[in-house]
Structure 1
Amino acid sequence: MNIREAAVIVTGSATGVGAACVRQFAERGARVAVNYNRSKAEADETADACRALGVEVIVVQGDVADDGACRAMVGAVVDRWGRLDALVNNAAMTVKSDPFDLETLSARDFQDVFSVNVIGAYQMCRAAIPAMRTNGGGAIVNVSSNVAFTGGGSSLAYTASKGALNALTMALARTCGPDIRVNAVCPGVIDTRWMRQTLGTDAYAALAQRFSDTAPLGRVATPEDVAGAVVWLVEGADFITGELLSVDGGVRLGGGVRKKAACTGGGS
């Protein structure tokens, strides 16, 4: 996809990975819609950073769990720019629970998490796909998580929601081609305010240290790392659809084996 002057929506893009995505799209000349639910000040700040790069930006408030808000978001972009080329479903929520005590997680918790992480993504896709097809197609990237593969995560509800999002990604890839590609990125630990607030400062620090000690690349992801993968799937992966791309520094390869300078090449 030629990203210059494309119109892109990134949900949950006031801060963190979403904000990094809209900035990287803006750096490439795309017109971007910054979406927020409650973080208006941060959304305005992110929008200003994108405008400073010389691109057009709109800021749209809306909860993706609300189908009307999803349709209004797409409508605002089409009204402004006459097209929609890419959608990044980044908005997410979680609850904390003890995975060893199932009584700490209720049906309401599952419903709340799925309403954003799965149903919200679906509603955004449903609203966006007709608009994309009007101008010849587009690309969708869902921001999932590697907990869908490992079974970890802040709660069983969150983990299950990301597994469902991965399945939704593959199902939509089957039905949306050939004009629309649908992929997902599956990050591991990311250095974001959202993760620190969700886990607590000390728990996040301990998790980040364990991750860094285990991952072959030796650190946690930055928002920019994840955004780079998202933008590549939109801009540079024209023959890729239905993929679940791990962005986890290789931690999935197994723990306890990374050594400094362990890999050498050549010989005498």
Structure 2
Amino acid sequence: MKLKGKVAVITGGGTGIGRAAAIALAAEGARVVVMGRRPEPLNETVDIVKERGGEGLAIPSDVTKIEDIEKARDEVRETYGRLDILVNNAGSALFKPFMKTSLEDFDRIYQVDLRSVFAVSQLMLPLMLEGGGGSIINIASILGVLGGKSSSAYCAMKGGVVQLTRALAAELGPEIRVNCLCPSHIITPMMEDELSRIESKGKMDKLTKMFPMKRLAYPEDMTGSILFYASDDSKWLTGNILMIDGGLSCYI
């Protein structure tokens, strides 16, 4: 097991990429802590981890609230005494034309998609350093690197995550490695509305044909890369921005 004895925190760990990451990290021996606003899906994730022989802990918390992050950090310290892997996965989507995106929309997406990555990383960092260092894995988006219509606020925040990754990699090495994954269309609860809109317009076939892989992705398509950056397999890699997009960016 590549991660035996390690402790991992995954934000947004109740569903989608976060749940898949927790299950995969636990399968490699990590003790996983999932954070998120809703207790029920967090507990479901932990139940799956335990059913498969792993160890997990659910900490209901809102990553836009500093006091919640601090409480989660303190609980991780009290329970496990260390933190080796942080997966900043919590996020929210916003697909609106620029002129219809209100400042309230912009502020909301900022709080969830960018500010939380900064805050969680900053507050968890001392615990990681106490144990000798570790790996931070930020989940951004293909739209953090490339542009897209009707997604100006989302592009801005995910682009911020990409640049924050590079800045932290430069500043926190060698003890802390910081890398970023930029997925394209992943079939998760967060993407349900957008995918339903595409389906309703009869454009799903057109969309899937744009990918050299000829399909959309599932959360499990992310886990190999997450495990790679979490483990010593990537021990000399930091500041990397990895596009996980089925080849879609080849066309843009």
Give the TM-score band, short-chain normalised: over 0.9
User: Which of 245, 248, 251 is 2:245 aligned to?
Assistant: 248
**1:192 to 1:207, Cα distance in 2 relative to 1, 3 A:** farther
Task: State the match for 1:165 in structure 2.
Answer: 161
Distance (Å, rounded) in 2 between the aligned partners of 1:33 and 1:223: 18
Cα distance in structure 1, aligned partners of 2:125 and 2:42: 25
Equivalent residue number for residue 105 of structure 2: 109
Q: Which is worse superposed, 204-213 or 118-127?
A: 204-213
Structure 1 residue 149: Cα displacement:
2.2
| 1:64 counterpart SS class | coil
Kept in 1, the 8 Å contact 2:169–2:177? The answer is yes
> In structure 2, how many angstroms separate the alpha carbons of the residues matched to 1:115 and 1:155?
16
State the match for 2:64 in structure 1: 65
Report deviation, 1:156: 1.2
**What is the RMSD computed on CA atoms of the aligned residues?**
1.8
Report matched runs for 1:1-268 at 5 Å.
2-38=2-38, 40-99=39-98, 102=99, 104-152=100-148, 155-197=151-193, 199=194, 201-203=196-198, 208-235=204-231, 236-254=233-251
Paired positions, count: 250
Matched position secondary structure for 1:141: strand
- Is the contact between residue 18 and residue 227 of structure 1 (CA under 8 Å) also seen in structure 2? no
Cα displacement (A) at 1:125? 0.5
Shift of 1:53: 2.2
What's the CA shift string for 1:72-125, capped at 9, x where partnerless? 1121111101100010000001333124xx1x1111211111111111011110
Q: Say which SS state the counterpart of residue 92 (structure 2) adopts.
A: coil
Q: Answer with 87-96 or 165-174: which moved more.
A: 87-96
Higher gyration radius (CA): 1
Matched to 2:196, the amino acid is: T
1:200 Cα deviation from its structure 2 partner: 5.3
Shift of 1:135: 1.0
Q: Distance in 1 between matches of 2:128 and 2:2?
A: 14
On the 8 A contact 1:94/1:154 being kept in 2, the answer is no
Relative distance call for 1:107 and 1:29 in structure 2 (3 A) is: same
> Does structure 1 conserve the Cα–Cα contact (< 8 Å) formed by 2:97 and 2:149?
no
Shift of 1:2: 4.5
Partners of 1:183 and 1:233 within 8 A in 2: yes
Moved more, 132-141 or 87-96: 87-96
Aligned to 1:262: none
CA distance in structure 2 between the aligned counterparts of 1:228 and 1:128, rounded to whole angstroms: 24
Q: Is the 8 A contact 1:195 1:204 kept in 2?
A: no
Shift of 1:216: 1.4
1:244 Cα deviation (Å)? 0.7
* Equivalent-residue separation in structure 2 for 1:154 and 1:21 (angstroms): 29
Query: What is the CA deviation profile of residues 15-36 of structure 1, one whole-angstrom value per residue up to 9, with x for unaligned ones?
Result: 0000000000011111001111
Instruction: Write the letter of the residue equivalent to 1:70.
Output: I
Q: Is the contact between residue 24 and residue 231 of structure 1 (CA under 8 Å) also seen in structure 2?
A: yes
Describe the superposition over 1:242-267 as per-residue Cα deviations: whole angstroms up to 9, x where unpaired: 01100001111117xxxxxxxxxxxx
Structure 2: tracts of 5 or more residues without a match: none
* CA distance in 1: counterparts of 2:215 and 2:83, whole angstroms: 35
Task: Name the SS of the counterpart of 2:132 in structure 1.
Answer: coil
The residue matched to 2:90 in structure 1 has which SS? coil
1: CA distance, partners of 2:243 / 2:222: 10
2:93–2:191: 8 Å Cα contact kept in structure 1? Answer: no
